[in-house]
A and B are shown apart, each in its own frame.
Chain A
């Protein structure tokens, strides 16, 4: 069964304290791995899509990387406005477009 596991569940950082969020996945043939940001009471906001092992993408203070078993979301020098829940989702083949989400990592960045 396709599964996505994110860790840690929650992370508290001081402003400027860099860290990484983990997303490990078990899918029979990955078509794409997605990172989303979700603010309380809002819908997921698209950040990145990664397709193959070794791929990296960056956006401001965020950098996403992908291996054959997991993905990392690195946050460099975070600011309080980076506080949100970060969701990882995978899309497997077999003629499906659905996304399978993890439970997310709730990030709090304190000034």
Chain B
């Protein structure tokens, strides 16, 4: 079964450092997302990306965050200057567009996540 792959699985970084989290979405998916989950809290939407541009972003996704699809397979999330409160699990997800007609039993496929620890 197709998978969303995320690397690294765990990243420890010092406050103020830049980090890049990497994702390889499912190959025929067109929509890409980043979500995060702070320990013990809800999964929260960060950003969605379609057709090489951001289609939606949350209040969390401020100027410190950026996303990029540098080639045909990778999707990255960059945090420019990490803060302690950025410590969380970051999940990449991808999906296909709903083409209309009978709704498919589609769902967003999530990766296993990157645990980011800012010290």
Contact = CB atoms under 8 A, between A and B. Distances in A.
Interface of A: 32, 34, 36, 41-49, 51, 57, 87, 89, 96-104
A46 B108 contact: yes
Contacts of B115: 41
Interface in B71-119: 89, 91, 93, 95, 103, 105-113, 115
Given A43-B113, A87-B43, A98 B107 contact: no
Contacts of B6: 43
A54 B108 CA distance: 23
Contacts of A96: 56
Contact of A46 (B43, B91, B109, B113): B109
Nearest to A46: B107
* Interface size bracket, B side: 20 to 34
B107 A100 contact: no
Contacts of B56: 96-98
B105 A98 contact: no
A34 B95 CA distance: 13
B58 interface: yes
A44 B115 CA distance: 14
A81 to B, nearest CB: 18
A96 B95 CA distance: 13
Given A44-B91, A96-B56, A97-B48, A34 B43 contact: no
Interface in B33-82: 33, 35, 41-45, 48, 50, 55-56, 58
A100 B105 contact: no
Point out which of A43, A51, A102 has the most chain B C-beta atoms below 10 A from its C-beta.
A43
B110 A44 contact: yes
Given A36-B107, A43-B93, 14 more contacts: A36-B110, A41-B89, A43-B91, A46-B107, A47-B107, A48-B107, A89-B43, A97-B50, A97-B95, A98-B45, A98-B58, A99-B45, A101-B42, A101-B44
